[in-house]
Structure 1
Amino acid sequence: MSPISILLVGFAMSTDAFAAAIGKGAAMRRPRLRDALRAGLIFGTIEAITPVLGWLLGRATSQYVEAFDHWIAFILLGALGAHMIVAGLRADPEDAGDDDDNRHHRFWTLAATGLATSIDAAAVGVSLAFFDVHIGMVALVIGVCTLVMVTLGIMLGRALGALVGKRAEIAGGVILIIVGASILHEHLTGAA
């Protein structure tokens, strides 16, 4: 997997967290940089751990699926990408305006939201287990991209609201589909 592909995966994995952060930032009265960095660190840490867990699961089963692993990666990434696109096109039911900053910014609330937005990263980790990639580097890139995107999302949330959030999720879905298709293409054509 090329460095550009790893960066694209990192960006794609951070877009749903970015969308959630914009929502959180919009719900907060006046988000401060310290609060945004804290949220980014929580989301980024969780988002970096989940692909490693998925990778470990994938490695445990890789010997049984080696002949068709590229198809698994293509299907998983394609399905995740399609799901992100559909979620980005759907109206957000969480638009009930709750202005309680403490409720929206508590550690456990942020951690639960971070976990919910990182399930797709675990699936990406499973698909990457079938290839010669350094999962630590991929996890680090995903975590750093998420930290940056969530911090920006919280700070921009007040001004941008839902306008950008859904579009970011759609873009992330398209990127995942492209990465999955490129993995399949590389395997079928023998390209490195």
Structure 2
Amino acid sequence: MDIYSIFLIAIALAMDAFSVSLTKGFIIKNIRIYQIIVIGLFFGGFQVGMPVLGWIAGEQIREIVSSIAPYIAFILLLIIGLKMIYDSAIDEEEKEESSKSSFSYKELTLLAIATSIDAFAVGITFSFLNIPILIPVTIIGITTFLLSETGIFIGKKLGHLFGNKFEIIGGVILILLGLNILLQGLGFY
């Protein structure tokens, strides 16, 4: 997998965190700079840790499933992409209601876990495709951090205009990357 594809995966994975950050920027009044940085570090940190855990799990079973790895990668990325698109259909008011208007480490931890579960499956995919994990997780973590920070600032200014469109874009990107992996595995190019 080339660096361009890894960067696209990083952007797609960061869309959940970006959307939550956008909402946080819109909802939390008088957010402080250290809180903005902590939010980015939580989201970026979990987006680094989850693929590593997935990659480790994938390494344990890669030999068993190596012949069907492109199919598994496609299915995982398809499911993640469809879930992101489905989640974007949840009513925005419901999302805002469930997102508290104050800063809480407990809530932030739960949000970081929730937005990085799909990264676990991507880590498994990297393992099945025999991709070393260090460069992808570095790109994923930095991208998520930067997009989370950006999301907060945009949310403070324009969050109500964009809503869930970023999750839809992320879902479509993952589905297309999964299809690309499948077609490569089948020898189409």
- TM-score bracket for this pair, using the shorter chain length: over 0.9
Who is 1:82 aligned against? 82
Cα offset, 1:98, TM superposition: 7.3
Q: Give the residue type in structure 1 aligned to 2:65.
A: V
Query: Where in structure 2 are there 5+ consecutive unaligned residues?
Result: none
Matches within 5 A, 1:61-80: 61-80=61-80
Count of aligned pairs: 188
Name 1:187's counterpart in structure 2.
Answer: 185
* Counterpart in the other structure of 1:107: 105
Q: Which amino acid aligns with 1:110?
A: L
> Secondary structure at the residue paired with 2:96?
coil
Give the equivalent residue in structure 2 for 1:34. 34
| RMSD, aligned CA | 1.7
Q: 8 Å contact 2:48–2:137 — kept in the other structure?
A: yes
Moved more, 78-87 or 89-98: 89-98
Letter in 2 for 1:36: I
Q: Is the counterpart of residue 95 in structure 1 residue 96 in structure 2?
A: yes
**1:56–1:129 contact (8 Å) kept in structure 2:** yes
Identical-pair percentage: 35
The answer to whether the 8 A contact 1:54-1:124 is kept is: yes
- Report the CA distance between 1:91 and its aligned residue: 1.1
Distance change in 2, residues 1:124/1:97 (3 Å): closer
Query: Which AA in structure 2 matches 1:143?
Result: G
Alpha-carbon shift at residue 97 of structure 1 (Å): 8.6
8 Å contact kept, 1:5–1:179: yes
Contact 1:32 1:155 in 2 (8 A): no
Q: Is the 8 A contact 1:13 1:120 kept in 2?
A: yes
In 2, Cα distance between equivalents of 1:126 and 1:185:
19
